């Protein structure tokens, strides 16, 4: 067993870090506090080959591994945390599902501008009554002639203020088997995008409303049964959130470490107080152990798709670690850490969101418990017995 990156991976990590230092270091603070998608960064990353790392070359990607994409997130986030969102967008999010399942026609139309950083896509799954229980979504797609009519509403979609296209999960019929997904373009009649609202992190999202919104049949990405089919794709997205959580925690840790090495109180540097040293020891233990779980999930990925269990363990560990470490880093830096003129408090706020988004820590723990006991635990209440049945 080898715990080290390969020589090729080390070389790739160095080249991404070099790119980030030259192109992303200046303006990192401003970028973090700007809620809009950084298209300029996306275009620079496209030129550097950092978009579509895991997407096949035939589709315009780089044909690399999931581990390469994780390395890219880590190296970019170490210099400019906000720019790691672009690596996420270009490699782990809905774009990955799109590249996996899109038709030749769909890919020809949208994949090239997405990978070039000229266009961004937003994912619409969550609804007011369908959060963790995503399969309870009620947005419908009704076949009508040669197209489909979409009705319903979505919440919390990342990048929705800037997106040109939306990957929307819809119900073609009853049950989980009735769920699939469609692409809806901004500006389609019957599709209204509400005003931007803000998360604690400063990221913006808009309510998406579909009322008699007609789309061509060519915009169906996955028909009925599609939701089940692409569960493995969600694990890829989760690995991206996992990698960012850890990378943001590490960014905050590094700033706190530099601060504690030079900041003097009572005539000594903070690093000389044992109470502070032990905080760093605890942070290092958390970061190192979560890192191994992340690398295991990414390195074991089969055809780029990580296992549900390894992903759940890694995401729960990295989400908790990222937040706890960033939180402690704020404490170690005092008012300087709490101030918006450093990115430590920003990392803490962003990490908090990943404990909820893309499979909350609790939902992941449910998944882990099923693995532990090797049985399924239905989260829904037992169905009432029809009168007299089975008695
Ligand atoms: C930063 C951020 C970005 C997001 N981006 C997107 C996006 O791009 N597209 C999109 O569609 N959605 C997005 N979401 C929404 C996200 O998917 C939901 O917030 C998530 O699925 C949880 O749903 P909920 O917020 O409705 O919480 P609820 O489902 O109401 O859960 C509330 C709490 O109860 C817990 N809980 C629920 N069920 C169980 C259970 N069975 N066992 C134990 N605990 C349980 C949850 O873990 C949570 O702590 C985003 C959210 C955030 C925070």
- Give the pLDDT confidence of 327-368 residue by residue, as tens digits: 999 999 999 999 999 999 999 999 999 999 999 999 999 999
Residue 197 predicted with pLDDT over 70 = yes
Residue 370 token pair: 């099923």
Lowest-pLDDT range of 36-40, 66-70, 97-101, 343-347: 97-101
Distance CA 124, CA 28 (A): 28
The predicted structure's pLDDT at residue 389? 43
Could you tell me if the CB of 149 is within 6 A of ligand 1? no
Cross-strand pairs, 213: 150
Ligand 1 atom at minimum distance from 360 CA: 47
What digits encode the pLDDT tens for the residues 315-324? 999 999 999 9
Ligand 1 atom at minimum distance from 134 CA: 21
| Contacts within 8 Å (CB) and 24+ apart, 337-341 | 337/255, 337/256, 337/259, 340/33, 341/29
CB of 77 within 8 A of CB of 31?
no
The predicted structure's pLDDT at residue 113? 97
Which residue, chain included where needed, has tokens 């979505």?
Answer: 154
Summarize the confidence of residues 263-268 as an average pLDDT.
Answer: 98
Q: 106-136 burial string, b = 16+ CB within 10 Å, else e?
A: bbebbbeebbbbebbbbbbbbbeebbeebee
Could you tell me if the CB of 123 is within 6 A of ligand 1? yes
Could you tell me if the CB of 360 is within 6 A of ligand 1? yes
Residue 386 predicted with pLDDT over 60 = no
The single-letter DSSP state of residue 377 is: -
CA distances from 299 to 185, 244, 306 (A): 35, 17, 8
The predicted structure's pLDDT at residue 387? 52
Ligand 1 atom at minimum distance from 201 CA: 1
* Alpha carbon 98 to chain centroid, angstroms: 15
Could you tell me if the CB of 314 is within 6 A of ligand 1? no
Residue nearest atom 43 of ligand 1, based on CA coordinates: 362
Q: How many Cβ atoms sit within 10 Å of the Cβ of residue 378? A: 7
Which residue, chain included where needed, has tokens 């590490």?
Answer: 250
Q: How many Cβ atoms sit within 10 Å of the Cβ of residue 29? A: 16
Residue 262 token pair: 């030079």
Cross-strand pairs, 193: 208
Summarize the confidence of residues 106-124 as an average pLDDT.
Answer: 97
The predicted structure's pLDDT at residue 385? 60
Residue 165 predicted with pLDDT over 90 = yes
Distance CA 23, CA 44 (A): 8
The predicted structure's pLDDT at residue 26? 98
Helices (H) and strands (E) in the chain, counts: 14, 11
Ligand 1 atom at minimum distance from 126 CA: 11
CB of 130 within 8 A of CB of 139?
no
Residue 22 predicted with pLDDT over 50 = yes
Instruction: State the helix-helix crossing angle for 231-262 and 308-338, rounded to 10 degrees.
Output: 30
Residue 140 predicted with pLDDT over 60 = yes
More confident residue, 57 or 232: 57
Ligand 1 centroid, distance to 115 Cα (angstroms): 28
The predicted structure's pLDDT at residue 388? 43
Could you tell me if the CB of 158 is within 6 A of ligand 1? yes
Of 116, 64, 67, nearest in space to 90 by CA: 116
Ligand 1 centroid, distance to 359 Cα (angstroms): 7
Ligand 1 centroid, distance to 78 Cα (angstroms): 27
Ligand 1 centroid, distance to 47 Cα (angstroms): 35
Residue nearest atom 41 of ligand 1, based on CA coordinates: 379
Ligand 1 centroid, distance to 135 Cα (angstroms): 13
Pocket test for ligand 1, best of 98, 131, 137 (most atoms within 8 A of CB): 131
Residue 195 predicted with pLDDT over 90 = yes
Per-residue pLDDT band at 231 (split at 50, 70, 90): confident
% of the chain surpassing 90 pLDDT: 92
CB of 212 within 8 A of CB of 152?
no
């Amino acid at each position: 067993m080898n715990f080290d990156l390969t020589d090729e991976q080390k070389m790739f990590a160095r080249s991404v870090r070099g790119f980030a230092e030259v192109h992303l270091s200046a303006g990192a603070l401003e970028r973090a506090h700007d809620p809009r998608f950084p298209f300029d960064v996306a275009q620079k990353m496209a030129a550097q080959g950092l978009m579509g790392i895991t997407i096949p070359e035939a589709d315009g990607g780089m044909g690399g591994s999931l581990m390469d994409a994780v390395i890219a997130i880590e190296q970019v986030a170490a210099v400019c945390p906000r720019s790691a969102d672009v690596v996420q967008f270009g490699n782990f999010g809905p774009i990955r599902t799109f590249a996996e399942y899109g038709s030749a026609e769909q890919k020809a139309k949208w994949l090239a501008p997405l990978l070039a950083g000229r266009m961004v896509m937003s994912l619409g799954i969550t609804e007011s009554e369908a959060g963790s229980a995503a399969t309870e979504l009620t947005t419908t797609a009704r076949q009508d002639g040669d197209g489909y009519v979409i009705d319903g509403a979505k919440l919390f979609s990342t990048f929705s203020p800037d997106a040109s296209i939306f990957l929307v999960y819809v119900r073609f019929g009853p049950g989980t088997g009735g769920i699939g997904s469609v692409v809806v373009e901004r500006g389609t009649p019957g599709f209204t995008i509400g005003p931007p609202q803000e998360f604690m992190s400063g990221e913006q999202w808009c309510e998406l409303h579909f009322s008699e919104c007609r789309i061509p049949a060519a915009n169906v990405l996955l028909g009925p049964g599609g939701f089940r089919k692409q569960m493995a794709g969600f694990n890829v997205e989760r690995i991206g959130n996992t990698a960012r959580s850890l990378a943001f925690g590490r960014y905050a840790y590094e700033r706190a470490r530099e601060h504690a090495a030079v900041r003097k109180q009572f005539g000594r540097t903070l690093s000389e107080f044992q109470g502070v040293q032990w905080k760093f020891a605890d942070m290092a233990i958390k970061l190192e152990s979560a890192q191994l779980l992340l690398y295991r999930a990414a390195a074991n990925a089969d055809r780029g798709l990580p296992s549900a269990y390894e992903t759940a363990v890694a995401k729960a560990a990295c989400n908790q670690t990222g937040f706890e470490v960033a939180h402690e880093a704020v404490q170690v830096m005092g008012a300087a850490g709490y101030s918006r003129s450093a990115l430590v408090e920003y990392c803490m706020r962003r990490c908090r969101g990943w404990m909820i988004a893309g499979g909350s820590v609790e939902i992941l723990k449910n998944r882990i418990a099923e693995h532990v006991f090797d049985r399924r635990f239905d989260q829904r209440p037992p169905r009432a017995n029809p009168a007299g049945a089975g008695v």
